[in-house]
């Protein structure tokens, strides 16, 4: 699916957070396939090492960094290490995110709300701040933040998650205006229901067939998405083909929001 | 750099293909290996541009089509299939502007004309393209909406109405045909440096300064930047993208 992009990131440096599995790993692989040096970051360092080993064995240039995006110090250190290693940062996919178990607002614990906002929203904020410092100095760069269809509509039991993903779009659109003239493009992707990811496993309560069936039924295209299909959108948004695409939240959802 | 697409063996149809974004898209399709049908109200110019593509090593024909006339649209699609045997991709781009007008003063002729081309034209194109694509069980359509399909601006009610309508048709037909292997999306160009925009701004010195104030990116868009979005939406890389309105506007609709 991403084959159309091969070779288009030769000599570039790309960062992916939440890269140990799912959409993040697929995107790291796609950046590697396209010729980029890839900085992969994740809070789960054991899983991250496995992912990095897989990428290296495929021949990709990879730097793996354990990073909890909720921690400003760790985020700054991650960006510093990326710059020290590769000298620049051309593209960043701020993808690290978590979902919730799904409960109405009153039954959702405050700690769960805090946790979701911390990872999904403050994490993107922390990453953008560190990335933009370097990209501003370079006067070039492209950032894609991972929102969700939950960032554009409500769905039952996901108030906290939705709030965080709506927030990501707000960060994206507003900051895009600040940095467009400085040669930096900031956009977002809004994945629909994507299968074969750790998050899918969680929201389908470990691939419960009834839940999976309901999700497939909700997809106008009649199937769940693949992580590689989000990766393809991220790479396109980061590439120079999207040079006039600024501040947009691109839906990649099989038609749910249409 | 643009991604390299391999559209060899595929057939692309572009309306409004003699100039501007349509021409840039037709040329990019041809460079990616597709056989291209260039349709335009100005059939002579479309034919001339098709010949230029052929001279450059591509495969193309040019023909006349007024998309406001459903019979001509049907004939255009028939001709594409007769020539190349199938239809894989279509960029329904033909569109016109009408002079800005106070909503209380707009002549009915302007409304009828802009609606006939921009809205009914896209409707007719999709209808006849989908008849071919549903038999194939595959295809990708991109309709040309506009920033005017996403936001309102003073004195633009008629034009923006048509471009909003394009998105309504895109989304509805998009979810209808997604299960049948056909993807339908739209692009929403911002202010692109094209002959249409040049015409629109003729004699309005202040208008360009006003537009530039709204361009976060500090410049107008290029026709090739819209073409690049159309090709991506038509490609397998966008296989999960359905019923989307993709702004290519330098950030205009982000604020």
In this prediction the ipTM stands at: 0.92
**Alpha carbons B212 and A64: distance in angstroms, whole number:** 42
pLDDT at A236: 97
**Span A173-189, average pLDDT:** 97
A4 pLDDT exceeds 50? no
- Closest alpha carbon to B148 in B82, B100, B199: B100
In a domain, B197, yes or no: no
In a domain, B119, yes or no: yes
C-alpha dihedral (A60, A64, A69, A75), degrees to nearest 10: -100
**CATH number of the structural domain spanning residue B236:** 3.40.50.720
In a domain, B201, yes or no: no
User: Residue A176 is encoded by which pair of tokens?
Assistant: 């895009």
State the best of A1, A2, A3, A4 to mutate against chain B, taking most chain B CBs within 10 Å.
A4
Predicted model pTM: 0.95
**Alpha carbons B111 and B98: distance in angstroms, whole number:** 8
**Span B19-32, average pLDDT:** 97
Q: What is the pLDDT of residues B211-235, one digit of tens each?
A: 888 888 999 999 999 999 999 999 9
Q: What is the pLDDT of residues B131-177, one digit of tens each?
A: 999 999 999 999 999 999 999 999 999 999 999 999 999 999 999 99
pLDDT at A202: 85
Yes or no, beta carbons of B237 and A257 under 8 Å apart = no
Q: How confident is the model at residue A7 (pLDDT cuts 50, 70, 90)?
A: low
- For residue B81, the distance in angstroms to the closest alpha carbon of chain A comes to 26
Identity of the residue in B217, B232, B250 whose CB atom sits nearest the CB atom of A241? B232
Q: What is the pLDDT of residues B117-129, one digit of tens each?
A: 999 999 999 999 9
Yes or no, beta carbons of B240 and A5 under 8 Å apart = no
Q: How confident is the model at residue B2 (pLDDT cuts 50, 70, 90)?
A: low
Instruction: Say if CB A58 and CB A40 are below 8 A apart.
Output: no
User: Residue B78 is encoded by which pair of tokens?
Assistant: 């028939």
A139 pLDDT exceeds 70? yes
A1 pLDDT exceeds 50? no
In a domain, B255, yes or no: no
Yes or no, beta carbons of B175 and A220 under 8 Å apart = yes
**Alpha carbons B61 and B88: distance in angstroms, whole number:** 16
Chain A and chain B share a number of CB contacts under 8 A equal to: 142
Task: Enumerate residues 6+ apart whose C-beta is below 8 A from A240.
Answer: B1, B2
Q: How confident is the model at residue A239 (pLDDT cuts 50, 70, 90)?
A: very high
- Closest alpha carbon to A189 in A229, A134, A141: A229
Identity of the residue in B179, B217, B238 whose CB atom sits nearest the CB atom of A246? B217
pLDDT at A250: 98
**Span B37-63, average pLDDT:** 98
Return the CA Rg of chain A. Answer: 17
What single-letter DSSP state applies at residue B246?
A: E
pLDDT at B203: 74
Distances from the Cα of A49 to the Cα of A63, A123, A246, angstroms: 10, 21, 34
Q: Report the number of distinct structural domains present in chain B.
A: 1
* List of chain B residues whose C-beta atoms are within 8 Å of the C-beta of residue A239: 1-3
Q: How confident is the model at residue A6 (pLDDT cuts 50, 70, 90)?
A: low
The correct answer on CATH 3.40.50.720 for the domain covering A2-194+227-252 is: yes
**Which residues of A make CB contacts under 8 Å with B?**
1-8, 173-174, 176-177, 180-181, 192, 220-222, 225-226, 229-230, 232-233, 235-236, 239-248, 250-255, 257-258
Given the residues A161, A166, A215, A236, the one annotated as active site? A161
Q: What is the pLDDT of residues A100-127, one digit of tens each?
A: 888 999 999 999 999 999 999 999 999 9
């Amino acid at each position: 699916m991403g084959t159309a992009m091969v070779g288009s990131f030769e000599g570039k440096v790309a960062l992916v957070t939440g890269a140990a599995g799912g959409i993040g790993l697929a995107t790291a692989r796609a950046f590697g396939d396209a010729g980029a040096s890839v900085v992969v970051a994740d809070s789960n360092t054991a899983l991250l090492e496995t992912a990095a080993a897989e990428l290296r064995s495929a021949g990709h240039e990879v730097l793996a960094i354990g990073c909890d995006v909720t921690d400003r110090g760790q985020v700054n250190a991650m960006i510093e290490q990326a710059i020290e290693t590769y000298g620049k940062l051309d593209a960043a996919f701020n993808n690290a995110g978590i979902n919730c178990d799904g409960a109405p607002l009153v039954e959702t614990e405050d700690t769960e709300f805090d946790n979701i906002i911390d990872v999904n929203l403050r994490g993107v904020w922390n990453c953008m701040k560190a990335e933009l410092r370097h990209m501003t100095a370079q006067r070039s760069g492209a950032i894609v933040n991972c929102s969700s269809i939950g960032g554009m509509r409500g769905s039952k039991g996901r108030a906290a998650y939705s709030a965080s993903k709506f927030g990501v779009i707000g960060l994206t659109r507003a900051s895009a205006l600040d940095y467009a003239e400085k040669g930096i493009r900031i956009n977002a992707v809004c994945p629909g229901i994507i299968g074969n990811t750790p998050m899918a496993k969680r929201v389908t309560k470990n691939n419960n067939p009834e839940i999976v069936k309901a999700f497939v039924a909700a997809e106008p295209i009649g199937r769940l998405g693949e992580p590689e299909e989000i990766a393809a959108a991220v790479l396109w948004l980061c590439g120079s083909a999207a040079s006039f695409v600024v501040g947009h939240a691109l839906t990649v959802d099989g038609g749910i929001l249409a | 750099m643009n991604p390299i697409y391999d559209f060899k063996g595929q057939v692309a149809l572009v309306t409004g293909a003699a100039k501007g974004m349509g021409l840039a898209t037709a040329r990019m399709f041809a460079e990616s290996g597709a056989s291209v049908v260039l349709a335009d109200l100005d059939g002579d110019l479309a034919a001339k541009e098709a010949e230029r593509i052929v001279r450059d090593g591509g495969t193309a024909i040019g023909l006349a089509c007024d998309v406001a006339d459903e019979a001509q649209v049907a004939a255009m699609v028939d001709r594409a299939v007769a020539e190349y045997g199938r239809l894989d991709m279509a960029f329904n781009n033909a569109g016109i502007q009408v002079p800005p007008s106070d909503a209380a003063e707009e002549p009915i002729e302007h409304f009828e004309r802009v609606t006939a081309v921009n809205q009914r034209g896209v409707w007719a194109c999709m209808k006849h393209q989908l008849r071919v694509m549903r038999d194939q069980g595959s295809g990708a359509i991109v309709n040309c909406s506009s920033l005017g399909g996403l936001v309102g601006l003073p004195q633009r009610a008629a034009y923006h109405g048509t471009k909003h309508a394009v998105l309504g048709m895109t989304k509805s037909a998009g979810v209808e045909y997604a299960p049948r292997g056909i993807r339908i999306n739209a692009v929403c160009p911002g202010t692109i440096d094209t002959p249409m925009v040049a015409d629109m701004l003729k004699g309005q010195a202040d208008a360009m300064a006003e537009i530039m104030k709204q361009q976060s990116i500090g410049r107008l868009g290029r026709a090739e930047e819209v073409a690049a979005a159309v090709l991506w939406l038509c490609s397998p890389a966008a296989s999960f993208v359905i019923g989307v309105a993709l702004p290519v506007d330098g950030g205009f609709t982000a604020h």
